[in-house]
């Protein structure tokens, strides 16, 4: 019996295939160095289909961003459910970020280092998105329940997460040769010491 083309075609999820190609190209060469024909070539999906699903080129970047933000948000919700103390929550957040950086560097690059404002001019900065406000809320909670020194919220959050973001950035730039996990314990000791009561 002949295999119908239709069954093969219907087996691929076009948005998924396109987003996979897009995140690779966007993080590798940048959004503006990636043409729609590039995405067509890489994904095997036609121009027309891409426009049918995403509206325009920025629609791809937007869909990708929203997907990844939601994913990170869910991960943080999980962490809050699984840990009681603020300290262990914060540590788990950093562990998650480090793991994500190692396992899916493109995801981390896209979330942290793509200038989304250049692509979507009236988008709020990443640091105002749910996952990031949630991180800061954890710090506020820790100050309220006495785990963290009383001080400016922003300074406390920056002190706690700043080192982690620095290492992630260095790792993604290829400056750090060993996986982030190897730095985790030492970094956390520094970070926690800087704000603990």
How distant is the alpha carbon of residue 144 from its chain centre? 28
| Residue ranges in 162-181 that form contacts with DNA under rule CB under 7 A | none
Residue 15: C-alpha distances to residues 21, 24, 37, 38 (Å): 10, 14, 16, 16
Site string for DNA, 54-73 (x = CB under 7 A): --xxx---------------
Among 42, 49, 104, 136, binds DNA (CB under 7 A): 49
Q: Give SS3 for 196.
A: strand
- Residue 169 binding target from its own copies, DNA, none, CB below 5 to 8 Å by type: its own copies
**Binding at 85: pick from DNA, its own copies, none (beta carbon under 5-8 Å per type):** none
User: Phi/psi at 124 (nearest 5 deg)?
Assistant: -70, 150
Q: Does 136 bind DNA (CB under 7 A)?
A: no
Nearer to DNA, 6 or 150 (CB): 6
56 in helix, strand or coil?
coil
Asked if 1 interacts with DNA (CB under 7 A), we say yes
Binding site partner of 46, from its own copies, DNA, none, Cβ cut-off 5-8 A by kind: DNA
Distance CA(31)–CA(48), nearest Å, equals 20
What CA–CA distance (Å, rounded) separates 23 from 107? 7
In the complex, which residues of this chain contact DNA (CB under 7 A)? 1-7, 9-10, 14, 34-37, 45-49, 51-53, 56-58
């Amino acid at each position: 019996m002949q295999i119908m083309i239709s069954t093969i075609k219907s087996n691929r999820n076009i948005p998924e295939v396109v987003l996979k190609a897009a995140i690779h190209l966007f993080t590798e060469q940048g959004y503006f160095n990636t043409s729609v024909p590039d995405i067509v070539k890489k994904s095997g999906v036609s121009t027309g289909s891409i426009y049918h699903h995403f509206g325009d080129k920025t629609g791809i970047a937007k869909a990708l961003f929203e997907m990844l933000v939601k994913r990170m948000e869910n991960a943080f919700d999980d962490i809050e459910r699984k840990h009681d103390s603020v300290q262990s929550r914060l540590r788990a957040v950093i562990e998650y970020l480090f793991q994500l950086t190692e396992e899916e560097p493109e995801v981390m690059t896209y979330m942290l280092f793509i200038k989304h404002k250049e692509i979507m001019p009236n988008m709020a900065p990443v640091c105002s998105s749910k996952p990031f406000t949630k991180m800061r809320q954890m710090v506020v909670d820790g100050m309220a329940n006495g785990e963290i020194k009383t001080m400016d919220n922003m300074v406390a959050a920056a002190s706690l997460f700043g080192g982690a973001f620095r290492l992630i950035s260095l790792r993604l730039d290829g400056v750090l040769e060993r996986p982030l996990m190897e730095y985790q314990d030492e970094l956390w000791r520094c970070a926690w010491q800087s704000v603990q009561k």
